[in-house]
Structure 1
């Protein structure tokens, strides 16, 4: 449910945002994936995606969006052509919010900004993948109208996990 009283804006990420995005990534991944991903893999991924990594990603990625609550980055998302192929398919690769901002409607702002970005690229279909154990993400995508359509396996270190595709 979108919280209309919350002042939220979405814009393209800037190099100066790298430190805040790294913090959003760290906090959201720990909340989302503790107990789902192997602990060592989770911490290595968090360490790898530091501010320097995010500065490079911002420079290379046109569709890296940030959601702001006032001047604070509450979350980020990346999107583009679907990695699985198909000329008319778009994909939201990542959409994460700092835990304190989850459940307030900010994720919907980011989701809709991604949809608008993909519409601007003439991509008619949309796919998002979520790990089977990530109940918050699955519930979020269902609340946005996504329908689970298929499953596949993905490896994290030595652990094999199931991911679910949501499509619109």
Structure 2
């Protein structure tokens, strides 16, 4: 099932056989884009087999029916992925007043395949899948030190929503801002 794309580029729901390719894209993207952000131990101790097994498990038995993963392909090669699920809702950060939300938990494109529209196709496919389920808002946490993802989201009509958080990553602290977009908004990807 091809959701969006041209003949040589497409996006489709991930299947368990994609786990190794997803892990590869994640490893390469993290080692390129997040080299200065992530603790060295995270990248040095990377275990392809364990990460692949984790992705295979999440694809075989997602935590809820609202979780999913999409893969972007070019000429038959997996070049990126987007993972989504229900957003975490806390007393400090209640449910969105705009309606049901979904959270993009990962949006990665292998850097050598960047700037070819794969990120846009992944987001558009997520909107196509989630809009009919009643989701009215997408959100994503982005490290403050990741201007590439922030710039991409801004160009796609997303904006920071004022929420931020700090993650303890062992030897470093990661500061994140939450970005969001309303689906069906004339200015956003709906």
* 2:116 is the counterpart of 1:104: yes
Larger C-alpha radius of gyration, 1 or 2?
Answer: 2
Deviation at 1:147, TM superposition (A): 0.7
Equivalent pairs counted in the alignment come to 164
- 1:83 alignment partner, one of 79, 88, 113: 88
Give the match's secondary structure for 1:111: helix
Give the match's secondary structure for 2:47: helix
Deviation at 1:5, TM superposition (A): 7.0
Distance 1:94 1:140 in 2: 14
Distance 1:5 1:91 in 2: 26
1:18-72 alpha-carbon deviations (Å, 9 max, x no partner): 211111010011112101111113344x426532222112112351111111211
Long gaps (5+) in structure 1: none
- Residue 73 of structure 2 aligns with which residue? 68
The answer (yes or no) to whether the contact 1:80–1:118 under 8 Å persists in 2 is: no
Name whichever structure is richer in helix by fraction. 1
Deviation at 1:166, TM superposition (A): 0.7
- Residue 40 of structure 2 aligns with which residue? 39
- Residue 24 of structure 2 aligns with which residue? 23
- Residue 161 of structure 1 aligns with which residue? 174
Distance 2:58 2:150 in 1: 26
Distance 1:34 1:6 in 2: 34
- TM normalised by structure 1 equals 0.88
- TM normalised by structure 2 equals 0.79
- Residue 134 of structure 1 aligns with which residue? 146
RMSD (CA atoms): 1.9
